């Protein structure tokens, strides 16, 4: 029986899904890449997730030390988060049977997102092991920026998050900003809140020839290409980017500039697109910028480097973002990133490049910052040369070392985690 085994709970989403055709999601990347880095250091990890396809293998052996285990809990198909919460008891029953059958002993249970935390609290109680909690997003903050009742998180979610803050042995925030929110808005004890900034795969995300990258993805070589990469959700502020593009094109009608939006399911006709994606398409028509906006759809991690390198600029116009892994991936490719001041990743931008930060929901301010950068060749070259250097310390190897240190501090038997 190995004494360095971690149970990882990613209840509502499988971290392997971003390697196929699922929506781009920072949490999936975080869970999988951190787990891979820990496995390289000799730790054994079992990632447990709810099965969403009965044809999926029950156990996927990612490498010698890491496996992903799909647990049948409710219908084995994609379901809303509100629905799958009802199947947590079934998930737990299967989990305990699996642990007993394989005679497993875990040193910690590491949970991602509040639904996984519900699972983790039960495991902590029954197995007597420390609970390490990473929220990724916070219900209170999502409600702050919600534009409709449909977007608001339930009171039950927030109560669960409050309980998790009290009962977790270690809380990991993905940015200093989220750490402060957990402390001030959830009454979290500063002693058990730590910041673990996500890493980036430097073997995958690195600068390449821009002209060749534009040709690879089918972009016009002479166009200034502005990129958005991420989930298609209202809180991402993509509509603000489209308004900023309209302002920019009106102010500079001769400028050859375009916006490419990577993310979302565009497999069907426009009328069949998901609600938010369809709304963005309608805004594109209302603003008469159809020719300058391209919806690219979902791309895998392996496809993304070509899009980052083809871009002249990436924009993260979020109203709330706990961190923003795609921004770091772009920066690792040497692409400047303009982000709002409410994102966790904005803290990585030094004072010298403060013009890369804008306020949320401010299309005029965003348009001005885009114009300043793409119209000033000397400044653009200087920023492009420095952004990749700014993220060189953010390796998943370093993140894994930090995670191990946090586990030691909260584990009763810290020698088992060393």
pLDDT in tens, 389-416: 888 889 999 999 999 999 988 875 444 6
pLDDT above 90 coverage of the chain, percent? 83
b/e string for 53-71 if b means 16 or more Cβ within 10 A?
eeeeeeeeebeebbbbbbb
- What is the fold, at CATH topology level, of the domain defined by 5-199+395-416? Rossmann fold (3.40.50)
* pLDDT reading at 219 higher than 50: yes
pLDDT tens readout for residues 160-197: 999 999 999 999 999 999 999 999 999 999 999 999 99
* pLDDT reading at 350 higher than 80: no
| pLDDT in the model for residue 46 | 98
- 210-390: same fold as 5-199+395-416? yes
Nearest to 329, CA basis, from 339, 318, 320, 337: 337
Angle of helix 26-40 relative to helix 325-332, nearest 10 degrees, comes to 70
Q: What is the mean pLDDT of the chain?
A: 93
27: phi > 0 → left, psi -120 to 50 → alpha, else beta; which? alpha
* pLDDT reading at 118 higher than 90: yes
pLDDT above 70 coverage of the chain, percent? 95
| pLDDT in the model for residue 415 | 44
* pLDDT reading at 2 higher than 90: no
- 261, 238 contact by CB (below 8 A): yes
Tokens 């191990």 belong to residue: 404
pLDDT tens readout for residues 284-308: 999 999 999 999 999 999 999 999 9
| pLDDT in the model for residue 24 | 53
pLDDT tens readout for residues 13-53: 999 986 544 455 789 999 999 999 999 999 999 999 999 99
d(CA 407, CA 131): 9
Give the pLDDT band (50/70/90) at residue 355: confident
| pLDDT in the model for residue 40 | 97
Domain definitions of the chain by residue range: 5-199+395-416, 210-390
User: 210-390, superfamily in CATH?
Assistant: Glycogen Phosphorylase B; (3.40.50.2000)
* pLDDT reading at 379 higher than 80: yes
pTM of the model: 0.92
* pLDDT reading at 374 higher than 90: no
Mean pLDDT of all residues in 368-372: 93
pLDDT tens readout for residues 84-114: 999 999 999 999 999 999 999 999 999 999 9
* pLDDT reading at 347 higher than 60: yes
| pLDDT in the model for residue 25 | 72
| pLDDT in the model for residue 416 | 60
Mean pLDDT of all residues in 146-159: 94
């Amino acid at each position: 029986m190995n004494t360095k085994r971690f149970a990882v709970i990613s209840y509502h989403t499988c971290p392997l899904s971003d390697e196929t055709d699922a929506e781009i999601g920072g949490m999936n990347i975080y869970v999988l890449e951190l787990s891979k880095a820990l496995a390289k250091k000799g730790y054994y990890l079992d990632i447990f997730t709810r099965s969403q396809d009965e044809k999926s293998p029950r156990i996927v052996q990612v490498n010698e030390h890491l496996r992903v285990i799909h647990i049948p809990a409710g219908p084995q198909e994609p379901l809303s988060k509100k629905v799958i919460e009802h199947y947590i008891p079934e998930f737990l029953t299967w989990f305990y049977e699996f642990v007993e059958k394989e005679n497993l002993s875990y040193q910690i249970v590491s949970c991602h997102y509040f639904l996984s935390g519900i699972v983790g609290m039960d495991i902590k109680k029954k197995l007597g092991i420390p609970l390490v909690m990473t929220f990724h997003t916070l219900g209170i903050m999502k409600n702050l920026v919600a534009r409709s009742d449909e977007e608001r998180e339930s009171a039950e979610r927030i109560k669960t998050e409050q309980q998790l803050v009290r009962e977790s042995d270690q809380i990991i925030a993905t940015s200093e900003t989220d750490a402060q929110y957990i402390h001030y808005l959830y009454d979290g004890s500063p002693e058990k809140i730590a910041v673990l900034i996500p890493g980036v795969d430097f073997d995958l995300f690195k600068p390449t020839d821009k002209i060749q990258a534009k040709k690879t993805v089918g972009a016009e070589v002479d166009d200034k290409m502005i990129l958005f990469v991420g989930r298609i959700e209202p809180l991402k502020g993509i509509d603000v980017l489209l308004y900023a593009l309209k302002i920019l094109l009106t102010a500079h009608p001769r400028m050859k500039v375009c916006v490419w939006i990577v993310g979302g399911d565009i497999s069907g006709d426009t009328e069949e697109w998901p609600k938010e994606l369809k709304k963005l398409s309608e805004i594109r028509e209302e603003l008469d910028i159809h020719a300058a906006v391209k919806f690219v759809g979902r791309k895998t991690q392996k496809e993304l480097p070509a899009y980052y390198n083809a871009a002249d600029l990436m924009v993260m116009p979020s109203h709330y973002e706990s961190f923003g892994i795609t921004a770091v991936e772009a920066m690792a490719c040497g692409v400047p990133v303009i982000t709002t001041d409410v994102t966790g990743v904005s803290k990585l931008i030094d004072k010298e490049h403060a013009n890369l930060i804008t306020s949320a929901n401010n299309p005029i301010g965003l348009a001005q910052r885009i114009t300043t950068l793409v119209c000033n060749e000397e400044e653009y070259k200087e920023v492009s040369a420095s952004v990749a250097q700014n993220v060189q310390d953010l390796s998943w190897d370093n993140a894994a070392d930090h995670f191990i240190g946090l586990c030691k501090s909260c584990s009763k038997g810290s020698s088992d985690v060393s």
